[in-house]
Amino acid sequence: MADRGVDVSALPKEVRDQLAELDLELSEGDITQKGYEKKRTKLLAPYFIHSPDHNLQKYLNLKTQHCVECVLLSVYADIHTEAVQAALAKHKEEKMALPMPTKRRSTYVQSPIQARTPPDSSSGSEDETSARRQSAVVAPPPSANSNLQSPDSWINRSVQGSSTSSSASSTLSHGEEWMTALLTLSSITSPAAPSGNNAPPPDVTAGAPPSRGSRVDLPSNAVVRGMSRGQSRSSMMETADGVPVSSRVSTKIQQLLNTLKRPKRPPLSEFFTDDSEEIVEVPQPDPNTPKPEGRQIIPVKGEPLGVVSNWPPALQAALARWGATQGKSPALTALDITGRVLYTLTYGKLWSRSVKLAYTLLNKLGTKNEQILKPGDRVALVYPNSDPGMFWVSFYGCLLAEVIPVPIEVPLSRKDAGISQVGFLLGSCGVGLALTSEICLKGLPKTPTGEILQFKGWPRLKWVVTDSKYLTKPSKDWQPHIPTANTDPAYIEYKASKDSTVVGVAVSKVAMLTHCQALTQACNYCEGETLVNVLDFKKDMGLWHGVLTAVMNRIHTISVPYAVMKACPLSWVQRVHIHKGSVSSCDAFLNVFQSHGLKPEVICPCATSPEAMTVAIRRPGVLGTPLPARAILSMGGLSHGVIRVNTEDKNSALTVQDVGHVMPGALMCIVKPDGPPQLCKTDEIGEIIINSRAGGTMYYNLPGVTKNTFEVIPVNANGVPIGEIPFVRSGLLGFVGPGSLIFVVGKIEGLLMVSGRRHNADDLVATALAVEPVKTVYRGRIAVFSVTVFYDERVVIVAEQRPDASEEDSFQWMSRVLQAIDSIHQVGLYCLALVPANTLPKTPLGGIHISDTKQFFLDGNLHPCNILMCPHTCVTNLPKPRQKQPVGVGPASVMVGNLVAGKRIAQAAGRDLGMIEDQDLVRKHQYLTEALHWRAQTDPDHVLYVLLNAKGVTVSTASCVQLHKRAEKIAAALTEKGSINTGENVVLLYPPGIDLIAAFYGCLYAGCVPVNVRPPHPQNLAATLPTVRMIIDVSKAACILTTQNLMRTLRSKEAAASVNIKTWPMIIDTDDLPRRRPPQIYKPPTAEMIAYLDFSVSTTGMLTGVKISHAAVSALCRSVKLQCELYSSRQIAICLDPYCGLGFVLWCLASVYSGHQSILIPPFELESCSSLWLSTLSQYRIRDTFCSYSVMELCIKGLGTQTDLLKARGVNLSCVRSCVVIAEERPRLALTHSFSKLFKDVGLSSRAVSTAFGSRVNLAICLQGTTGPDPCTVYVDMKSLRHDRLRLVERGAPQSLPLMESGKILPGVRVIIVNPETRGPLGDSHLGEIWVNSPHNASGYYTIYGEESLQADHFNTKLSFGDPQTLWARTGYLGFVKRTELLEASGDRHDALFVVGSLDETLELRGLRYHPTDIETSVSRAHRSIAESAVFTWTNLLVVVSELCGSEQDALDLVPLITNVVLEEHHLIVGVVVIVDPGVIPINSRGEKQRMHLRDSFLADQLDPIYVAYNM
């Protein structure tokens, strides 16, 4: 000790401050041990006294016992640090290469100001953290340590290597830290171990994603349908395994896969065969599990409680006696923050002030007639830890007034950890009055008007100040009533339980007195002794010894506030009360102070709990007695609850020290901690239960939980009670050793039950602390808890990270902690998170508030700066993967099987297209050109189209004759200007409007094949122009028809940056064409000729063009006309993109065929005026309208809060009969429901909204129409769906998925559900591919390669059995058909078609089929900050990309929440979680996510993610 001859408390303040600063530097690792010693010696040199410190010697040679409380004596001895070292060395040989998470540089960059150590925000007097800076590492002078500093000693070592007691955990109270801080602290700062092959990540390449505003169709790098479905979708993946050569992301994924290839602990048993048995994998019991073998335990009795003649009849009587006879005798000395004496309270003063307070409480509060307090009422005591005198007076004043004191912590703010739970305690105890000191009252948080804040969950309190000047002296004849101690409650001690509820343990007057007597006998207290108390005097040991037993024995208590330790550790040397002592700490303390005369036999650990009070205590030893007992136990045995002496693997040994014998007058048993209180066997670990007069009596006002804890009657192995005496559960786990010595190994609260094995949170903390925390962990602050995910507990470790810790150091520390805990405890960690320093919620004494931390973790409010999830390692109870059965069953058997089971073949059909009455009309309508020509002649002025702008004003209209003439002009231009030949392809490049319609008919008049293409977005040419170029190239277009504006764009410099503008085909601007007529209107020789090409980018990034024949156009228009009852006098409104699919058909073709008027609303106009579409519906009294999902989303987002405004403007949607959403996907039920619900207030019928369904092979399969039953919704079981089975369940059933019918099947359309592998028809209880047969099927893919095999496979395919004649087209979508109870117009029962998802998009994982949208729905629900998400797979890893709409500090909170929700709801482990900015997930014009494009961007490192987490 450098300062051996110096009394630090006597040093000048500035020197003490410099010493404290130096200690802080050492604890934070900013200075080496050697440098610390040097600087300290220099500082103290002028003050050296070269004789030994007699004062210290005198104190330490006192006969007094050192009462060391040891609630949690589950402690590693010297072996532990070596164990961690050995475990890590073993892993180092394996060269674990964990991929490091990728973090965007902008996230969490600390400014130089922030980079300094943050101030400790815990309450000054009771902050625990400073003494834990060394992670409870206790070290001797450097000479003893020099042999430990090997180059790669990256583990904190200490005296004899015993650095890590599990009690150095987040739950450590300040008592042990006193002892820790008293010693010279040493931190070995040394280089980090080699980091495997982790290279620090270079900056992420910044590819600016397209803004969400412009929805873009992005084909995945030019893949054209016509290459088979199975071929590669991306030309950038050039390596053999499909990994882009330069991609950093995929090398990390490869690293992750290599890590995951290591086998999990429980190997998977044989494969899953039974489809219906989809439950959690239950691990088979291991035959080698150790089982208890001893006999049943016999209750252990403490020695009888002696009767001493002068023991008082009640504790108040003792105070009265000493107040009267020993008034000058000191009762309490309080020290200030520097360690100087603040005041001394004599027994006389304590008595007189307590009597004054009792008189005031009973007589002076309220009016004369009505007293506020009466005996038996509960009052809160709110005093800071720096003011023991006021607390003593209040406590004894309450006892004398016979009111029940409830001591609580001082509330500092409305956001204190656990503040509402304290409110629950005050409420359950019926507290309405709080006693406090004047200074404390001034410090309480106030409202602006000066009133004390109403804390969350607290009852209304009246505050009473107890300073002497406010108390009334009683009249001479008034004396407090002091009855003999009885079973009425004396005081209530608060206790926070594992689930964070705070309850009050009531202690009766007789229990309080008996406990004091038992402690006096056990600790051999004598009258007039001196006792130093460094514990919290409001509860537990600090209250029992330092306030109650001390007064009974007229002991002089010196109360040391916690903050003294920072400035002056040596002010406490007389008696040590250590709150959770530990072997290593006790040993280290002894090692340092033995040379000063400290004797081993005076250190007395004990075990306590609020319910049972003191359970056991080691009696103060007589000189020369044998040393305390030790047990070296196997941690494997402990995890199974049995005691086995550790022999084989010294790495997983736990050394525990006894806590002495049972208390005098008590009876103790050990019972099983769960289930009925069955007595344990002698070699079994269980909960300690106690029968004694000196224990708690109940949880105040909570009779239900009281019965389970305070009235336990143990039973034997047969379940028969062993007597009638009730025992109290102590909440401590332990066993009885030889000689009836009690050993405690943990607390029930710190128990984590993982896969049927018990692990102690404090043991895990100790292991984590043994792994080089100096560089990473801030002041050793680590919390361990478990969360329930997927039917088991999962271990989570959260630590505070030092402000100066580097990413690499933190990641290294995290991966080492994983390895150490895996080796030593044989348990996998689920999540390891590092949060910024001082951000975890604190307990009043500065420790970590575990339950609040857990709640923050589950709510996504933890804001970690580093996180590592390891679900692959620790989730071992997933269902077995399904192995698909070989198809060995013949078609006939399937048919017979279905018939026997009563299942019908899943097929359905729309009504018959039939020949309608006016045959002439049908013949005329064989070609649309003829229909238009006929309409121009018969009804020339009938307006077919009305185009609106953002203000709702008509910008142009087209009557039959106007459209016919404009088409003629364009046809003439094509033949003259473009000299286009019949049958050549012409690209139409127009914004949504009437020009597009005229150009389409112009092409038909000229005999060309129109190819409609979405124009490039002028603000985003780089992303949108290549798609235009690709379609032009693929379709071999001979000419482009467009507007002047777009022609300029195509030839602009900006366009030249993205594509080669010199090679465009001829461009004809159709804005100002001369009035010419073509020589004749072309009539195709046969209706099978191609009318137009329909190009679209699918969600999988596939660019697909299909050929639509004239016959198909005619049949489709007729089908839609019949379904929607369209005729000339009708008006419909269309708010859709008119570029492909059914949207194009409704915009350009249907009106010409049926003669109805179409009001056209371009969807982009809604971005500037969200109410445009709905106002139009109301203004024109529209009955039928067609829109897309993106239009619905725009309306919900833009008008969500404006329905009242719409009402005020007179918008009324009661006229709308059908509002059909046009899509090529599963109906988005949540969106349509939200839309209906939102606009119900403006008259929209809940039955109006429905959906349509089309695909590439058939543009319109279903459309709700105006007649027929409403669309129905069913709930299906998701587990069955993954097996391609169908099981209907009730609404609200667990794992249920609501699905809405995709509209009524159109006239002339037949669908059948087919097994995509066997191509045989399926029964209606199966999910299969939807095949369609209809006169308006597309004729085939437009391909330049002429690949006939794919053509035949998708367009002209036959069933393998059943009906081998019919030709079907494969839609590529999975769905099912259900016969409903509803009736068709014909009177037959209605068959509904349900679309589940695209076959190309499904994810095959663990042998099951998943639909991305289901996983995405779950992910989006996980946290309020997730705007949108998309999932895809890469090499069997599930990748989740989520857009973050909150602040970037929420980014890492999403990782565990996403992992949890996918595991819980889909039984899948997420491999990679990518957090990106809003708008990064590409969405096509139909509002569908382009997941494959996203995948390619991710693998090519073009997303600029905020954070990428690779789950282990």
Helix (H, G, I), strand (E, B) or coil at 500: coil
In this predicted structure, the answer to whether residue 986 has a pLDDT above a threshold of 80 is: yes
In this predicted structure, the answer to whether residue 751 has a pLDDT above a threshold of 70 is: yes
Local confidence band at 129 (pLDDT 50, 70, 90 cut-offs) = very low
| Token couple for 1255 | 């695909």
In this predicted structure, the answer to whether residue 887 has a pLDDT above a threshold of 70 is: no
| Averaged pLDDT, 404-420 | 87
Cα 1356 to Cα 1338: distance, rounded to the nearest angstrom:
10
In this predicted structure, the answer to whether residue 464 has a pLDDT above a threshold of 70 is: yes
In this predicted structure, the answer to whether residue 35 has a pLDDT above a threshold of 80 is: no
Local confidence band at 51 (pLDDT 50, 70, 90 cut-offs) = very low
Q: What is the pLDDT of residue 161?
A: 35
pLDDT in tens, 518-530: 999 998 899 999 9
Q: What is the pLDDT of residue 1349?
A: 63
Local confidence band at 591 (pLDDT 50, 70, 90 cut-offs) = confident
What's 588's DSSP letter? Answer: H
Q: What is the pLDDT of residue 21?
A: 75
Give ∠ CA 1205-1206-1210 in degrees, rounded to 5: 115
Q: What is the pLDDT of residue 160?
A: 33
Q: What is the pLDDT of residue 889?
A: 56
Q: What is the largest CA-CA distance in the chain?
A: 132
**Would you mind telling me the total number of residues written for the chain in this entry?**
1512
Local confidence band at 567 (pLDDT 50, 70, 90 cut-offs) = low
Residue of 710, 751, 730, 840 whose CA lies nearest to 498: 751
* Number of Cβ atoms within 10 Å of the Cβ of 1307: 22
- The residue with tokens 């529209």 is 1182
367 phi and psi, to 5 degrees?
-85, 170
CB 1498 within 8 Å of CB 1439: yes
What's 953's DSSP letter? Answer: -
| Token couple for 597 | 């005369």
Cα 278 to Cα 881: distance, rounded to the nearest angstrom:
10
Q: What share of the chain is helix, strand, coil (3-state, %, to 5)?
A: 30, 25, 45
Q: What is the pLDDT of residue 1300?
A: 93
Task: Specify the DSSP element, H or E, that contains 607.
Answer: strand 603-609
Cα 1391 to Cα 569: distance, rounded to the nearest angstrom:
83
pLDDT in tens, 896-948: 566 555 567 888 888 887 655 444 454 555 789 999 999 999 999 999 999 99
Of 217 and 221, the structure prediction assigns the larger pLDDT to 217
How far is residue 435 CA from its own chain's centroid? 41
pLDDT in tens, 1267-1296: 777 888 999 999 889 989 999 999 888 889
* Number of Cβ atoms within 10 Å of the Cβ of 481: 11
Q: What is the pLDDT of residue 95?
A: 53
Q: What is the pLDDT of residue 227?
A: 41
Cα 28 to Cα 38: distance, rounded to the nearest angstrom:
17
Determine what percent of the chain is predicted with pLDDT higher than 70. 79
| Averaged pLDDT, 288-310 | 86
Q: What is the pLDDT of residue 645?
A: 84
In this predicted structure, the answer to whether residue 578 has a pLDDT above a threshold of 60 is: no
Per-residue burial over 807-817, b if 16 or more Cβ lie within 10 Å, else e, is eebbbbbbbbb
Of 618 and 924, the structure prediction assigns the larger pLDDT to 618
| Token couple for 1199 | 């008008």
Lowest mean pLDDT across 122-126, 632-636, 878-882, 1093-1097: 122-126
pLDDT in tens, 61-78: 333 333 333 322 333 333
Residue of 1262, 1177, 1200 whose CA lies nearest to 1227: 1262
End-to-end CA, the chain: 46
Q: Give the dihedral sign, CA 1178/1181/1187/1189.
A: positive
CB 929 within 8 Å of CB 1083: yes
Determine what percent of the chain is predicted with pLDDT higher than 90. 48
In this predicted structure, the answer to whether residue 1205 has a pLDDT above a threshold of 70 is: yes
Cα 1030 to Cα 1344: distance, rounded to the nearest angstrom:
13
Per-residue burial over 656-678, b if 16 or more Cβ lie within 10 Å, else e, is bbbbbbbbbbbbbbbbbbeeebb
Q: What is the pLDDT of residue 634?
A: 87
DSSP 1271-1301: PPEEEEEHHHHHTTB--B--TT-TTEEEEE-
| Token couple for 2 | 């450098």
pLDDT in tens, 779-805: 889 999 999 998 899 999 999 999 999
CB 384 within 8 Å of CB 125: yes
| Token couple for 211 | 């803004």
| Token couple for 477 | 């004849």
Q: What is the pLDDT of residue 651?
A: 72
- The residue with tokens 């399926």 is 1322
CB 1444 within 8 Å of CB 1477: yes
Distances (CA, A) of 537 to 493, 577, 846, 1342: 11, 11, 16, 86
Contacts of 1349 (CB under 8 A, 6+ apart): 228
787 phi and psi, to 5 degrees?
-125, 150
Local confidence band at 229 (pLDDT 50, 70, 90 cut-offs) = very low
Q: What is the pLDDT of residue 167?
A: 35
Local confidence band at 244 (pLDDT 50, 70, 90 cut-offs) = very low
| Token couple for 22 | 């130096």
In this predicted structure, the answer to whether residue 584 has a pLDDT above a threshold of 80 is: no
722 phi and psi, to 5 degrees?
-90, 0
Q: What is the pLDDT of residue 456?
A: 87
Local confidence band at 1481 (pLDDT 50, 70, 90 cut-offs) = very high
1342, HSE (Cβ side, Cα atoms, 13 Å): 26
Distances (CA, A) of 647 to 76, 634, 824, 1187: 16, 8, 14, 74
In this predicted structure, the answer to whether residue 1394 has a pLDDT above a threshold of 60 is: yes
What's 459's DSSP letter? Answer: P
List the beta bridge partners of residue 1039. 986, 1066
pLDDT in tens, 1122-1179: 999 898 899 999 999 999 999 999 999 999 999 999 999 999 999 999 999 999 999 9
CB 1413 within 8 Å of CB 1229: no
CB 6 within 8 Å of CB 44: yes
Cα 923 to Cα 708: distance, rounded to the nearest angstrom:
87
Contacts of 1030 (CB under 8 A, 6+ apart): 219, 222, 1103
Residue of 927, 936, 986, 989 whose CA lies nearest to 966: 936
Q: What is the pLDDT of residue 272?
A: 32
Helix (H, G, I), strand (E, B) or coil at 533: strand
Give ∠ CA 396-400-404 in degrees, rounded to 5: 75
CB 1362 within 8 Å of CB 891: yes
Cα 1370 to Cα 626: distance, rounded to the nearest angstrom:
87
CB 1017 within 8 Å of CB 1172: no
Q: What is the pLDDT of residue 389?
A: 93
In this predicted structure, the answer to whether residue 93 has a pLDDT above a threshold of 70 is: no
| Token couple for 114 | 């922030």
Query: What's the pTM?
Result: 0.81
pLDDT in tens, 1410-1432: 999 999 999 999 999 999 999 99
| Averaged pLDDT, 389-403 | 95
CB 687 within 8 Å of CB 670: yes
Contacts of 1068 (CB under 8 A, 6+ apart): 973, 974, 977, 978, 1039, 1040, 1041, 1042
* Number of Cβ atoms within 10 Å of the Cβ of 890: 11
| Token couple for 1209 | 């403007």
Q: What is the pLDDT of residue 602?
A: 79
Contacts of 88 (CB under 8 A, 6+ apart): 155, 193, 771, 816, 819, 820, 823
Q: What is the pLDDT of residue 625?
A: 61
- The residue with tokens 């009394």 is 7
Lowest mean pLDDT across 368-372, 785-789, 1045-1049: 368-372
Local confidence band at 570 (pLDDT 50, 70, 90 cut-offs) = low
**Mean pLDDT for all residues in the chain:** 81
Cα 506 to Cα 611: distance, rounded to the nearest angstrom:
9
